A and B are shown apart, each in its own frame.
Chain A
Amino acid sequence: MPDTILEFQKYEIEPSFYDEMFHGDGSPRQHCVELHATLSDLTGLELSTMQERVTRSFYNEGITFIVYGNEAAGERIIPIDCVPRVLANAEWRHIETGLDQRLRALNLFLQDVYNEARIIADGVIPTDVIRDCPQYRIEMRGLSALHGAWVAVCGTDLVRTNDGFRVLEDNLRVPSGVSYMIATRKAVKANLRGVYRRSNVLDVEHYGKLLLSTLRDLAPPGVTDPTIALLTPGVYNSAFYEHMFLARELDAELVEGRDLIVNDGYVYMRTTSGLRRVDVIYRRVDDDFIDPLVFRPDSYLGVPGLLHAYRLGNVTLANAPGTGVADDKSVYAYVPDIIRYYLSEEPILANVDTYLCRQPEGLEYTLDNLENLVVKEVGGSGGYGMLIGPHSTVEERQEYAKQIQANPKNYISQPVLDLSRAPCLIDDQFEPRHVDLRPFVLRGNETRIVPGGLCRIALKRGSLVVNSSQGGGAKDIWVLPD
């Protein structure tokens, strides 16, 4: 390995992709000057040592996950790139106000579709888009969430193109990744101490405190000092580290379904001194598995009667069941309309153009342009079941077209986005890789956001898939002060 200065000379800038660090002429963007100068002074050996330290710290901390369907491969860590992505304060303000607006609107939408459904009656969204969605839970009809916070914890995926930021996906069920954000921050700042201090990077490590405030906001009425528990599917879940981490941050008990019982319409946990009532459950178990007597009967992860206690208002579930209807990919297409409808505001963050195959014109357009589109299943996530047109073969497209025609409702398509790129340390060289951005937004009786998020990387050269289950990596995001 060359112990020489690793310069950015060979770093390739392509005008069709926004580069997070450089202008088109190769000069660093103003908010990246400090970091760029620091990186330019480091040797290849220093950088790769740093990278190795970061990786090792993740293993020692046990920040690992298991890939479903590949359990034999054992525990893996998400590859962390030690080069941070820097955002100017103005850029962040724009994102922050946009996310706040979006989450407020989506919560109003959830309150509405589970009650009067005015938005349907007013013809803004077709009935079938909502009622065909498997995530629409009729069990939630007639219920209201405290402070309207159906979604208390949200992790929105944003991408940047040359036209600016766009929302790619709203994750409103059990979004994960926030522990990676914090662990990455800890590891990266320990290795880039000087420039971190000089840049006055805004803090993200107080996320746990904000989450605690949010959950306390949502305590059932009359409960002033709520007992909070974090419900996990257990140690074999790929996000278990995060559940453990957050339980500690919240000073909450980390419970599994077997630790909880429902009695007299209240929820209790089994403690060494007897049963203790639980007031707020931050649940990281999917809707389907929280209550075998309401949702999937074969589930052993949940608590029989949990929904009953929830419906009586004796326990809060965060997020509320049924929020998946608002991050369904068909509903996604209507979010700009949802914002206009409930808030009478123009959306601050743009959507990605979306064609619904459930609509004849959307289906036709999709089938005619498969090679230029990304096609997704409406209920899919994690990057599974997608077709990326330009990267597919004729056979794959033909096969996929058949699937679409068999069940058009299940698909949407979007243009292939020119995701922005950021410099990453790949094989001891700086190379551009496509990235996205997942900030975490909290909503109790107010919106709370830490400045930053998880920056996901498509590690394969040219790839646009950033999901960690598909070999994506992550890096730190530095938001600079004004």
Chain B
Amino acid sequence: MTEMVRYAIQHNSRYQYRNSVARSAMWICLEPRSDFDQNVRRFEAITEPSVYLSPETDPFGNNKHFITVNFEHDSLVIKASSEVDNITAARLPTALGPGAWEEIDSWTNTFDQWHYTHESPLTIYSPALDDFVTKYRIGSGSDPVESLLRLGDTLFRNFEYTPGSTNAASKIEEILETRQGVCQDYAHVMIAIARSWGIPTRYVSGYMYLTGMHGEQVSESATHAWVECLLPELGWFGFDPTNATIADQRHVRIAVGRDYLDVSPTRGILIDGESSTLDATVKMEVIPFSTV
């Protein structure tokens, strides 16, 4: 039986511009996906100043919104709230059936999986990464699931999770060099290696519900990133190398893509404006619901 968790998520972002900006345009990628293991019951987003959020489904199936603020403004606030049912079942077998690698190989260079099995700007398989792989004897073993779990575990043990150590668009060279990074970096490294094995792998941006001893939310900033791999029998399956776990009921998926650049929560451009500072807060709560 599948156990279900319902979350209420409030994600607020505030851009404060150094000087006022004549116009701005922005992609917003904050609406969680409704697909195989989660169901979005409600999503609302508003902005201050108030403008129309124009919806679009991107080539990866994500629900994005495009906004333009075509008048002078000195800050922009985006308030997104959603209610999501997470119906992820813990269902990872210890190993896949025989012939799993062969099946994966048959996907590797297919038209539809091409972009999930080849390099993207932030997941380049560089010489530094090759050295890293050699040094820690990371390799694909006899079973894909086991190999991926071991890969995630290796990253977890050898990188130090250090907020602020890298920025959103950091290349994986930085985390390889300093061994410090954030979830995006863990995900990018894992993607680059898994793709080198031929496994279709994608970047997931989302939220993670972190609890303390008594089940209370412990982190104010719950945005998170992990990866999904396409596997025989399982379909797209989530691995979270930052926490050395598989994606489970704590994970809420917003969007998937080749890497961070496809799914960054906001991506904008200022016209006649300089830099800005971003201040984001996420509140994530489990809400009770009556079982059907």
Residue of chain A at shortest CB distance from B64: A308
Residue of chain A at shortest CB distance from B27: A293
Least Cβ–Cβ distance between B124 and chain A, in angstroms:
15
Query: Are B109 and A261 in contact, CB atoms less than 8 angstroms apart?
Result: no
Q: How large is the interface on B (under 10, 10 to 19, 20 to 34, 35 or more residues)?
A: 20 to 34
Of the candidates A139, A141, A262, the one whose C-beta lies within 8 Å of that of B68 is: A262
Query: Are A308 and B66 in contact, CB atoms less than 8 angstroms apart?
Result: yes
Residue of chain A at shortest CB distance from B112: A117
Query: Are B70 and A293 in contact, CB atoms less than 8 angstroms apart?
Result: no
Of the candidates B25, B58, B110, the one whose C-beta lies within 8 Å of that of A305 is: B25
Residue of chain A at shortest CB distance from B109: A127
Question: In the complex the two chains form, what is the Cα distance from A293 to B52 in whole Å?
Answer: 18
Does A417 touch B at the CB level, under 8 Å? no
List residues 84-119 of chain A with CB under 8 A from any CB of chain B: 117
Query: Are B25 and A293 in contact, CB atoms less than 8 angstroms apart?
Result: yes
Given A130-B111, A265-B54, do A292 and B269 touch, yes or no (CB 8 Å)?
yes
Least Cβ–Cβ distance between B231 and chain A, in angstroms:
21
Cβ–Cβ < 8 Å partners of A261 in chain B: 23, 68, 70
Does A398 touch B at the CB level, under 8 Å? no
Least Cβ–Cβ distance between B232 and chain A, in angstroms:
20
Least Cβ–Cβ distance between A110 and chain B, in angstroms:
15
What per-residue 1/0 map shows which CB atoms of B55-71 lie under 8 Å from chain A?
Answer: 01011000000101010
Least Cβ–Cβ distance between A257 and chain B, in angstroms:
10
Query: Are B267 and A293 in contact, CB atoms less than 8 angstroms apart?
Result: yes
Residue of chain B at shortest CB distance from A266: B54
Query: Are B109 and A308 in contact, CB atoms less than 8 angstroms apart?
Result: no
Question: In the complex the two chains form, what is the Cα distance from A127 to B25 in whole Å?
Answer: 35
Does A311 touch B at the CB level, under 8 Å? yes
Residue of chain B at shortest CB distance from A143: B59
Does B283 touch A at the CB level, under 8 Å? no
Query: Are A304 and B25 in contact, CB atoms less than 8 angstroms apart?
Result: yes
Cβ–Cβ < 8 Å partners of B52 in chain A: 263-265
Does B114 touch A at the CB level, under 8 Å? yes
Name the residue among A117, A128, A308 with the largest chain B CB count within 10 angstroms: A308
Least Cβ–Cβ distance between B128 and chain A, in angstroms:
21
Given A261-B23, A293-B269, do A138 and B54 touch, yes or no (CB 8 Å)?
no
Cβ–Cβ < 8 Å partners of A308 in chain B: 54, 56, 66
Question: In the complex the two chains form, what is the Cα distance from A297 to B115 in whole Å?
Answer: 20
Given A263-B70, A293-B269, do A127 and B54 touch, yes or no (CB 8 Å)?
no
Least Cβ–Cβ distance between A193 and chain B, in angstroms:
53
Does A121 touch B at the CB level, under 8 Å? yes
List residues 130-179 of chain B with CB under 8 A from any CB of chain A: none
Question: In the complex the two chains form, what is the Cα distance from A262 to B54 in whole Å?
Answer: 11
Query: Are A311 and B25 in contact, CB atoms less than 8 angstroms apart?
Result: no
Query: Are B114 and A262 in contact, CB atoms less than 8 angstroms apart?
Result: no
Interface residues of A (CB under 8 A from B): 117, 120-121, 127-128, 130-131, 138-142, 261-265, 292-293, 297, 304-305, 308, 311-312
Q: Could you pull out 17 A-B pairs where Cβ atoms are within 8 angstroms?
A: A117-B111, A131-B111, A139-B59, A142-B59, A261-B23, A261-B68, A263-B52, A263-B70, A264-B54, A265-B66, A293-B25, A293-B26, A293-B27, A297-B269, A305-B66, A311-B56, A312-B56
Besides A131-B111, A138-B59, 17 more A-B contacts (Cβ < 8 Å) are: A117-B112, A121-B111, A127-B109, A127-B110, A127-B111, A127-B114, A130-B111, A131-B114, A142-B59, A261-B68, A262-B68, A263-B70, A264-B54, A293-B267, A293-B269, A304-B25, A304-B68
